[in-house]
A and B are shown apart, each in its own frame.
Chain A
């Protein structure tokens, strides 16, 4: 029977308004044009000095957002029953959510500085079948979050049938923790920082050559002369400013890593993997190991220099490409990778080896290079050579021929990076260009499998296998057709004979 407390709709802490304020600003950032259009219209239409109008405009803007966040807090109610969390939300458009405990895959929490002072957290429920967290409880007490986690743990069937839910001991095992040096590595190896670092060298070189020519005889040169500054000094100043700007961006990336992952801890808690980290806002993310569809170890150019990996555990997507839910382990050493793989895929995949340079990987057929060069190099050249020669003269047509060796080089690199490691229960596929990506998966989690042969592949008895997982598609190109068929039959056998849930 439900207690009177369970029947009562409750409000969260008034500090939940901060959460809604954040959400409003997030929405504003996404739809900047629509949001600021009325503000701009107000500034243009109203009378008075610019400073007064800006002050008035901003006051109106902040008052509206503040009132909106307080109103959203006021209309938010929740109720926790024996088997579910009920949420009522919305001011004009009312929503009622009924999230059953047994549907919740994981509970993620966030704790900003203010919430930390008041011992509050924002709870986000990660439910099956949705790409984004379905429900949230902003600014609730940590104790409530902990009790919810406990209830969900008991609501989930225990993986080991020999243990009853009551007997299941809370067995938290630390797996990985990251220090300050790692934060710098994360920041420097983030894609943004990588682009800046890659651009920095050639850009400086390009500028050195071109800027001098470009500004010769222009007003800038006259100005430089007038200001007694030599062209070289001016150029150096511009380069220094550019370098400072790029370094500032890299610094921002490093600061971002500190903000998101400071004091990062990864622990295994029964059948759940949990990470905590963050400087100002503490993020706690968790993933049910059984829900993981594919495991990916990435190593971009910077991570290769640091000899580190970034690991992503992907869950089922909602159907939209690129919308699979991902649990990120931002950094691990090559020594930690095998232990991490085994922790995540457990005993099911004992032969897993995700080290990209491991000897276990088999190469795909070198005919892969030929097909890439033919389709991406020779064919476009044949099509474009005629029109380009007619339009821009023979030198342009001849220049196009340089495209073929470039494609050949790219195809050769791609070929060298491709590899596969086929085991009894799962497979690891490797690919990459500047870095590496290795993807591991269990056959029993495959949704469908296809074998494709082009006419050229058919002649050479080769085929491309596609494994359609709930988190996305994995491709194994240019393998012997017989191997592809064997693999397909084996995967189908594993899927069809498995009694375990794939999600």
Chain B
């Protein structure tokens, strides 16, 4: 028999009530290492620049100084190392039976929800640095998007793989009528 039970809006499951899972603990270390590598290259670049262009003009009185360039890494130091410590704890994800929810952002706090029956495909990726720290990125693609519609950075490699399989199973089981 056809049934069409009324659903009260209050009885709908809410995203607020989910249990949020933080990103893998190693992800902060991975981000800090990335910052350190970035800073290292900036320092090497400035040192190299100074070694090549630090010239005293022919009359010996005038000197082109590039010492102020060291202000760049100095000013970048705090944000580069502080940002992962602030931003990573703001990221979290939750998986429900029919959708996946991801929150992120420090100044612009965004909570995105993707129902499994709208996911076109799932991609797991990892950079060499990710692999060193055994973390990975999961990208979920929906129709009409311009790239990975939802990128979840900083999952442990095992969790990312488990999630990928789980979502693929969910995609496969969703049946729609035309």
Contacts and interface: CB of A to CB of B under 8 A. Distances in A.
Contact of B176 (A319, A320, A499): A499
A503 interface: yes
B112 A471 contact: no
Interface string A477-503: 000000001101110110110111111
A178 interface: no
Contacts of B142: 447-448, 468, 470
A453 B108 contact: yes
A174 interface: no
Contacts of A471: 144
Contacts of A489: 12-15
A454 B176 CA distance: 37
Contacts of A37: none
Nearest to B114: A448
B111 interface: yes
Main secondary structure of the interface of A (DSSP, over half): mixed
B173 interface: no
B9 A324 contact: no
Most chain B C-beta atoms within 10 Å of own C-beta, residue among A156, A319, A447? A447
B105 interface: yes
Contacts of B150: 448
A10 B143 CA distance: 36
Contacts of B9: 486, 490
Contacts of A458: 109
B61 interface: no
A157 B113 CA distance: 31
B99 A492 contact: yes
A450 B144 contact: no
Contacts of B176: 498-502
Nearest to A320: B146
A319 B112 contact: no
Contacts of B12: 489-490, 493
B178 A469 contact: no
Contacts of A316: 143-144
A449 interface: yes
- Chain A interface bracket (under 10, 10 to 19, 20 to 34, 35 or more): 35 or more
B117 interface: yes
B118 A502 contact: yes
A496 B108 contact: no
A495 B152 CA distance: 22
A501 B176 CA distance: 5
A447 B144 CA distance: 8
Contacts of A448: 112-115, 118, 142, 149-150
A350 B108 CA distance: 36
Contact of B178 (A452, A492, A501): A501
B7 interface: yes
B177 A451 contact: no
A458 B108 CA distance: 10
A492 B99 CA distance: 8
B144 A492 contact: no
A493 B10 CA distance: 12
B115 A454 contact: no
B158 interface: no
B108 A157 contact: no
Contacts of B68: none
A290 interface: yes
A447 B177 CA distance: 17
Nearest to A453: B109
Contacts of B149: 447-448, 468
A449 B12 CA distance: 16
Interface string B92-113: 0000001100000101111111
A157 B178 contact: yes
A455 interface: yes
Given A454-B107, A471-B144, A495 B118 contact: yes
Contact of A468 (B105, B109, B144, B178): B144
B117 A450 contact: no
A470 B143 contact: yes
Interface in A438-476: 446-455, 458, 468-472
B114 A447 contact: yes
Contacts of B105: 452
Contacts of A112: none
B16 interface: yes
Most chain B C-beta atoms within 10 Å of own C-beta, residue among A320, A449, A458, A498? A449
Interface in B2-18: 7, 9, 12-16
Interface string A3-20: 000000000000000000
Given A157-B178, A496-B98, A451 B146 contact: no
B145 interface: yes
B144 A452 contact: no
Given A455-B107, A495-B117, A501-B177, A319 B16 contact: no
Nearest to A455: B107
B178 A290 contact: yes
A201 interface: no
Most chain B C-beta atoms within 10 Å of own C-beta, residue among A316, A450, A472, A503? A450
Given A290-B178, A448-B150, A490-B12, 5 more contacts: A447-B142, A448-B112, A489-B12, A495-B118, A500-B176
22 contacts: A156-B178, A316-B143, A316-B144, A319-B144, A320-B146, A324-B144, A447-B114, A447-B143, A448-B112, A448-B114, A450-B112, A453-B108, A454-B109, A470-B144, A488-B113, A489-B12, A492-B98, A492-B99, A499-B177, A501-B176, A502-B176, A503-B143
